[in-house]
Structures are given as structure tokens and as C-alpha cells.
């Protein structure tokens, strides 16, 4: 490796050195900000400059997490929320995608439904909460449905506009090759919009957590959203913070999986 670098000119060596230095700086400051934030938080609460009753503190969160783990409840709550989120995510993505395909297929149907989709998109889905509970009952079903409602409209809208934006010229090429509509969809429209699909997945990762937590605020007996609401009600901010922390980790893991998928696709 060293030998290889020596083969290049001095200016190239300088350039590579600078790249490495820049990368180091970025990573250094990322870690620095985290450590400084946590350290400051801990110190300020330790010396009672900030009241840990209101802002909690890293050490109290760790203690709280330890307590939850030894009681065995943490994994239970995390699993409940994760389950709701994943199911909601899957249903919304698959169904939203299929609806978009259907609307692409038939232009008349698309035009008819256009205003409805716009209204559904701008409606705050949380407003439907009471209706959802009345219709499907409280509990998991309601939460999953909330999650689906939040993700599905944006999935359909994003995919549909991606489908429509596919190069007219390429469609003409396929038509000149005698392709039927299904072939145009299968060979051109779907593969051409894969990058858009991946960004929809990324958006849905975020949105589906919003959906499941919001659903749990509305109606739940378990889950991370439940822990947060419960913690808030009994003024136990440590519990709120601990649940939020776990939520951060899970959401990040899910986002990471999607970005792995993206990298694999790009290869």
C-alpha cells in the first residue's frame, strides 16, 4: 500500500493526505458532539444546575434501562412496537405500490381519483383516530391501521409520480418493438423507478414509526409509545427518555437495513 502511494506525484500524495484528514475531522467531530452533549448533560444534572426530575440524565437513563431489562419488560415493549411498525410498514408499502401501479395503468381512473388522493394526503391522519378505534377496536389493529394510513398515501403519490415521469422516448422504443402494456410496465416502468422506490422505503421507515407511536398514544397497553405516555403521566421522565432512546436505536437499525438494500441494488 505504502509503495503504491510512492508511485504517485507529490501533489497527489498531498491530496490523498488532505482527504484522509478531512474524513478524520468529520468522524472526530461527530463523536465529539455526542460525548460533549452527554457529558454536559450528566455534569449539569449532577451539580443540580438542571433538575434531573425534568430533564433526566444519562446515568439515570442507564439505570432505568437496566431496571427494565432485568424486569424483562423492555424487550416485551420494544417487540410490540417493532411488530406494529413492521406490519404497518409492509402493508402500506405493498398496498400503496400496487395502488400506484393500478393508477398508472388506467389514466381515466387516475384522473378520477386525483382530488381524493390530494385531500387524503393533506388530511392529518391522527384526526381519524377515534373513527379507527370505533371501527377496528382498540389495540394492535388500530395501531397498525394508523401506521398504514400514514404511510400509504405518500407511497402511492411518490410512486405514481415516478411512474409517470418515466422517459416517454423509452416507452416509444418499446412500442416500436411491439411491446404490450404489461411488458412496458414490467421491463421499463418498474425497473426504471427502483431508485424512487428505495427513497419511498426510506421515507416509510420514518413515517411508520410515527404511525405506530401515534397509534400507541391513542390506544395501547404495551409498547414504547405506551411507556412514553405512561412515563409522562406519572412524571417519570427517566422512563420517557429510556423508551425514546430504544426507539432511536430501532429506527436507526431499520433505516440502516434499507440503506444496505440500496447499496446492494446500486452494485
Partner 1 sequence: MKEILKFNDVSYFYQTKKDEIFALDKISFSVLEEDFVSIVGPSGCGKTTILSLIAGLLKPSSGKVILDGSEKIDTKKIGYMFQRDMLFDWRSVWKNITLGIELQKPDDKERKLQLADELLKKYSLYNFKNKKPRELSGGMRQRVALIRTLVMEPKLLLLDEPFSALDFQTRLTLCDDVYDILKSEKKTAILVTHDISEAISMSNKIIVLSSRPAKVKDEIKLNLSGETPLKKRDDSSFRGYFDLIWRELTNEEENK
Contact residues toward partner 1 (CB under 8 A) are: 167, 169-170, 172-179, 183, 187-188, 191-192, 194
Helix (H, G, I), strand (E, B) or coil at 213: helix
Q: Which three cell numbers stand for residue 191?
A: 425497473
For residues 168 and 150, what is the distance between their CA atoms, to the nearest angstrom?
32
128 vs 171 by CB, closer to partner 1: 171
Residue nearer to partner 1 on the CB measure, 22 or 167: 167
* Least spacing, CB of residue 256 vs partner 1, in Å: 24
d(CA 110, CA 22): 49
Would you tell me how many other CB atoms lie within 10 Å of the CB of residue 262?
16
Q: How far is the CB of 191 from partner 1 (least distance, A)?
A: 5
> Least distance (Å) from partner 1 to the CB of residue 180?
9
Identity of the residue, 22 or 107, whose beta carbon is nearer to partner 1 in the bound complex: 107
Position of cell 417519570? 236
What is the separation of C-alpha 123 from the centre of its chain, rounded to a whole number of angstroms? Answer: 20
Q: How far is the CB of 170 from partner 1 (least distance, A)?
A: 5
Phi, psi of 139 (to 5 degrees): 105, -160
**Which is nearer to partner 1, 173 or 253 (by Cβ)?**
173
Amino acid at each position: 500500500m505504502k509503495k503504491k502511494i510512492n508511485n504517485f506525484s507529490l501533489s497527489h500524495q498531498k491530496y490523498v493526505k488532505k482527504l484522509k484528514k478531512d474524513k478524520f475531522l468529520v468522524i472526530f467531530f461527530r463523536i465529539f458532539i455526542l460525548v460533549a452533549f452527554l457529558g454536559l448533560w450528566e455534569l449539569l444534572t449532577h451539580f443540580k444546575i438542571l433538575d434531573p426530575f425534568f430533564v433526566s440524565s444519562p446515568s439515570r437513563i442507564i439505570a432505568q434501562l437496566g431496571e427494565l431489562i432485568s424486569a424483562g419488560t423492555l424487550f416485551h415493549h420494544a417487540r410490540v412496537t417493532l411488530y406494529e411498525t413492521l406490519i404497518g410498514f409492509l402493508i402500506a408499502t405493498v398496498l400503496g405500490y400496487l395502488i400506484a401501479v393500478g393508477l398508472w395503468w388506467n389514466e381515466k381512473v387516475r384522473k378520477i381519483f386525483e382530488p381524493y388522493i390530494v385531500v387524503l394526503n393533506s388530511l392529518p391522519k391522527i384526526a381519524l383516530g377515534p373513527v379507527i378505534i370505533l371501527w377496528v377496536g382498540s389495540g394492535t389493529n388500530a395501531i397498525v391501521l394508523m401506521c398504514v394510513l400514514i404511510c400509504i398515501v405518500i407511497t402511492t403519490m411518490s410512486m405514481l409520480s415516478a411512474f409517470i415521469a418515466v422517459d416517454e422516448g423509452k416507452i416509444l422504443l418499446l412500442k416500436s418493438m411491439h411491446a404490450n402494456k404489461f411488458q412496458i410496465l414490467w421491463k421499463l416502468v418498474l425497473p426504471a423507478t427502483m431508485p424512487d422506490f428505495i427513497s419511498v422505503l426510506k421515507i416509510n421507515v420514518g413515517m411508520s414509526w410515527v404511525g405506530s407511536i401515534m397509534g400507541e398514544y391513542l390506544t395501547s397497553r404495551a409498547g414504547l409509545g405506551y411507556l412514553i405516555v405512561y412515563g409522562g403521566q406519572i412524571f417519570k421522565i427517566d422512563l420517557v427518555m429510556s423508551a425514546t432512546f430504544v426507539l432511536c436505536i430501532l429506527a436507526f437499525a431499520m433505516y440502516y437495513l434499507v440503506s444496505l438494500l440500496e447499496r446492494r441494488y446500486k452494485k
